[in-house]
Chains A and B, each alone.
Chain A
């Protein structure tokens, strides 16, 4: 039962995270591209329940950050005015999931105060909002690339496992080649062949394609194994005896066995591909400014002074860790449950 509850916990965590990211426009209090030129590298806004006079408030509130005069990027809270945290507040316009227009945000504060849950970057942009919007890119890239990999792996695995012979031999040699490739360098090499200034949308689809076509090898091998064992089962032979076509046998008898493997592979590949996209963007080869992605948010840390002085810039790494943990926990538990039950 503990396994089940761990699975439920992982799934709920992931669902929550994905929902927040999908509804980034609603959950994020600010526009990710809005510069606050007077507030570069502001630390995360502190949420208070007790004010400076010691009174307890039921509704949390915040103070504005004021720059310390004659210093660089150092701030103090301005205790002169407190701003209560409001929920379902009107804010900058956004498109929910790219479709619905809306002004309503989950939380925020009255102007001119802003809530920076994860501080701001060099241009004063709200990091929390950027992490959510960036998550859309990074997660979508991971999920789509996983889809591509699994689809390719499934097709190749099925065909080579089912038909055997020279098809199988050549497919498996190809699989070995792809398994051996150092994926990072391959990614860099492919990326360098692509045109340099392409639109963010094009970059995104190219990224997804490139990442997806690298990792199909392992799922292909695993699927092939399943298909090999499945096709020699008695009921498959019986089916053939009754005149079933290859396609029918594949669809009806073989494929269902692969679902378990495909699911665990998916759960393993998604975080791997998210990290691949993050790596490319971190190195400046993925999505470029001003579109946020966890990779180019983390790229700020390549500067020594940012790494050392502004700890909140690590926040996208935390998001990455949560995603990876969630998926891996899910994959682990499902695998254990499956092998337990088989």
Chain B
């Protein structure tokens, strides 16, 4: 009897300790929590999500790949956050902020009494430290560009323990959106490695969890290389629901590394994962068929913000091993590009590649971006006749067998490279190839490994045409600066221009520059409309289509509210909980 009771006590004590290690801490006096308005849930459960590839790092400053950012986003928090459902900014770690009249000075007031996931207090010192790291050129953060306005990096100054002042060199439209996803990092853990110049090496996947801390809803529990990373509840998380329950509801969040989309689908179908996002259309159709019997539900959220396009290589070639320069004579002709655009059957692409879950595009702004899309942009229907007229007017001609020749008598032939890991883009390329063969163009589709495509498009310029996708980050035009500015890093058709190569590119530079500092929405919209029209007329990208955002989840996941902005399904992970039994979430509207 004695032994039994002491063993039981021991077991219970251990259980309590284990449980207590990650159960939510009771609210402290003076803690300025944020109250969410979601359906009240209950504690417990592990949410399992599959990722296509393994994250490379847990360092918020150096991470550039999507899987890393997906995990890091759950471990960290920002000052001002863009609510993925409403697409508007809302207070996060900052309880309020004020902007000066001239739009150049931000005073941000932080919440009081908050703590990191290791229990250490959070205050303005951490904010100043975090921005110092982001702005440090030696650290090479990919987010540094966002903080350089008017050629000068943003200035950060501590006013008092809970107030920080940000000064911009010039007014910046929607400046508060810059703060989204800039993780606030713990000075008490990272100041030393930063001082030693080791910042880029900290917080890898194998770093012991005790050396990491963040303001996000979860903290790292364990990492099994090649298999999974498991996060556990952050007991000090600064959000509560309306009944003063500290969020998150979930005990744990696990990311499994499964390799590719098909593996994600198989796992979800087998019930091994709870949520699946970024579904391709065929997989969406496949999974929706037996949704009722498996207790899952699927959502088509409408067009995403991404845009798929065909780009021709207009770069200054470094070394021309494949005689691309001769073909650039065709690509640089705007009427050639317009003819290509006119000949493409966008409806087929939406139907065959996206199974109808998509929208055709003639510009870079998706129809779901109601605030910014130019409604007056023309959507010319497919016309082979118009395409032939355009080609004829530029001196192209056809031989008896239908093949197209330019005015020098050279047969029009080129290749389109796509990534092997993206079956949909290869499909699009095959359809485009068939469309262009009706014009007599001899097009080859060359699938290459993803990194090989990136290398050719961004570094060596050793390609003729490619089908790629951009966008999807935010609805606001400012993140698109990199694409449309002639000096931008994703100005794909002509990278590294010392000055705009054409008049219309110069026009776009001007308009984009002006809208960036224009604080009034109406005027910004007018400027951005101009950009969209110039782009649509000069076709540096032949826009094809945009996929709809397709996601799914088990019916037992409560408060599931998928959104068009990334991360579609986990943006409100602190509000997710498991419904008892097989109930449908009542009131959890997508």
Contacts and interface: CB of A to CB of B under 8 A. Distances in A.
Contacts, number: 63
Nearest to B429: A289
Interface string A306-323: 101100000000000000
A284 interface: yes
Contacts of B355: 72-73
Contact of B282 (A37, A123, A288, A303): A303
A306 B355 CA distance: 14
A309 B289 CA distance: 11
Interface stretch (B51-59, B230-238, B302-310, B442-450): B442-450
A4 B483 CA distance: 72
Nearest to A304: B262
A290 B352 contact: no
Contacts of A289: 426, 430, 433, 445
A305 interface: yes
Nearest to A200: B444
Nearest to B266: A304
Contacts of A308: 286
A303 B446 contact: no
B447 A304 contact: no
Nearest to A197: B446
A40 B431 CA distance: 13
A113 interface: no
B180 interface: no
Contacts of B265: 304-305
Nearest to B356: A72
A35 B351 CA distance: 13
A196 interface: yes
Nearest to B288: A72
A288 B283 contact: no
Interface string B554-585: 00000000000000000000000000000000
A122 interface: yes
Contacts of B266: 304
Contacts of A303: 262, 282, 423
B285 interface: yes
Interface residues of A, number: 21
Contacts of B446: 196-197, 288
Given A122-B427, A303-B282, A290 B433 contact: yes
Contacts of A284: 420, 447
Contacts of A72: 281-282, 285, 355-356
Contacts of B415: 197
Contact of B445 (A122, A288, A302): A288
B434 A309 contact: no
Nearest to B262: A304
Contact of B447 (A122, A123, A288): A288
A304 B262 CA distance: 5
Q: Which of B355, B434, B447 has most A Cβ within 10 Å?
A: B434
Nearest to B260: A304
B352 to A, nearest CB: 6
Contact of B285 (A37, A73, A288): A73
Contacts of B448: 196
A305 B352 contact: no
A254 to B, nearest CB: 48
Nearest to A300: B423
B345 to A, nearest CB: 7
A290 B442 CA distance: 12
Contacts of B356: 72
A33 B438 CA distance: 13
Contacts of B430: 123, 289-290
B348 interface: yes
Nearest to B263: A304
Interface of A: 33, 35, 37, 40, 72-73, 122-123, 196-197, 284, 288-290, 302-306, 308-309
Given A40-B352, A123-B427, A290-B430, 5 more contacts: A35-B431, A72-B282, A72-B355, A73-B282, A288-B446
Interface of B: 262, 265-266, 280-283, 285-286, 345, 348, 351-352, 355-356, 415, 417, 420, 423, 426-427, 430-431, 433-434, 444-448
29 contacts: A35-B431, A37-B345, A37-B351, A37-B352, A72-B285, A73-B355, A122-B352, A122-B427, A123-B427, A123-B430, A123-B431, A123-B434, A196-B446, A197-B446, A288-B445, A289-B433, A290-B430, A290-B445, A302-B262, A304-B266, A304-B283, A304-B286, A305-B262, A305-B280, A305-B282, A305-B283, A305-B285, A308-B286, A309-B286
